[in-house]
């Protein structure tokens, strides 16, 4: 295929180095997300998927960088290859074209299952760590988005009919957060 080589990089936290993932891999353009791989709702992934065209190759360091969920991984690879886009996983040394052998399909499923399993282990360890910190009294949860006075103001103004979207913009929070505060207030 003679199209462009489009890189996709995903790192989970700001202290990770995105440069190592496609280091010394030639790409024409690269999209980088700083987000969890728990789902595919990531702005740069969405931009990369919209950008790639038939004949292009999407180059990803490893399968777990594209998706941590087997269903998402398989869906993304199938959607891309159906559009004529190759998907290349550098670490695994696998390229998917849509004309893949049964062995390649098996490897995608097995490696994707490992990525999903690893994500489940991370979640379990995180939950265990939070539980231990709570027992020690060291964990107090996430910092509230609004002060008690701001929360009262949001609820009061929403009760008078002000649009929730306008309140969210004014207070720098999401509409969902507005609804959470309204629900807490009863």
Predicted confidence (pLDDT) per residue in 49-70, tens digit: 999 999 999 999 999 899 988 9
In angstroms, the CA 63 to CA 91 distance is 8
For range 136-143, the mean pLDDT = 82
Residue 15 has pLDDT above 80, yes or no: no
Q: What is the pLDDT of residue 152?
A: 93
Query: In which band, very low, low, confident or very high, does the pLDDT at 73 lie, cut at 50, 70 and 90?
Result: very high
Q: Which secondary-structure segment (H or E) carries 9?
A: strand 5-11
Question: Considering the entire predicted model, what is its pTM?
Answer: 0.67
Assess contact for 56 and 85: CB atoms under 8 A: yes
Q: Which secondary-structure segment (H or E) carries 33?
A: strand 29-34
* Active-site annotation holds for 36: no
Q: What is the overall mean pLDDT for the chain?
A: 89
Predicted confidence (pLDDT) per residue in 80-90, tens digit: 999 999 999 99
């Amino acid at each position: 295929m003679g199209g462009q080589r489009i890189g996709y990089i995903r790192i989970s936290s700001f202290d990770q180095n995105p440069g190592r993932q496609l280091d010394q891999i030639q790409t024409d353009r690269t999209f980088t997300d700083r987000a969890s791989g728990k789902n595919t709702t990531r702005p740069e992934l969405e931009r990369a998927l919209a950008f790639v065209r038939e004949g292009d190759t999407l180059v990803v360091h490893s399968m777990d960088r594209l998706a941590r969920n087997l269903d998402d991984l398989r869906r993304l690879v199938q959607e891309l290859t159906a559009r004529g886009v190759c998907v290349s996983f550098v670490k695994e040394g696998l390229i998917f074209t849509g004309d893949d052998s049964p062995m390649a399909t098996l490897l995608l499923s097995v490696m994707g299952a490992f990525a999903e399993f690893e994500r489940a282990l991370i979640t379990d360890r995180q939950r265990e760590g939070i539980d231990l910190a709570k027992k020690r009294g060291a964990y107090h949860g996430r910092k509230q988005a609004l002060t008690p006075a701001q929360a009262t103001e949001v609820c009061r103004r929403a009760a008078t009919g002000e649009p929730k979207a306008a309140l969210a913009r004014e207070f720098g929070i999401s509409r969902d957060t507005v609804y959470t505060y309204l629900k807490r207030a009863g």
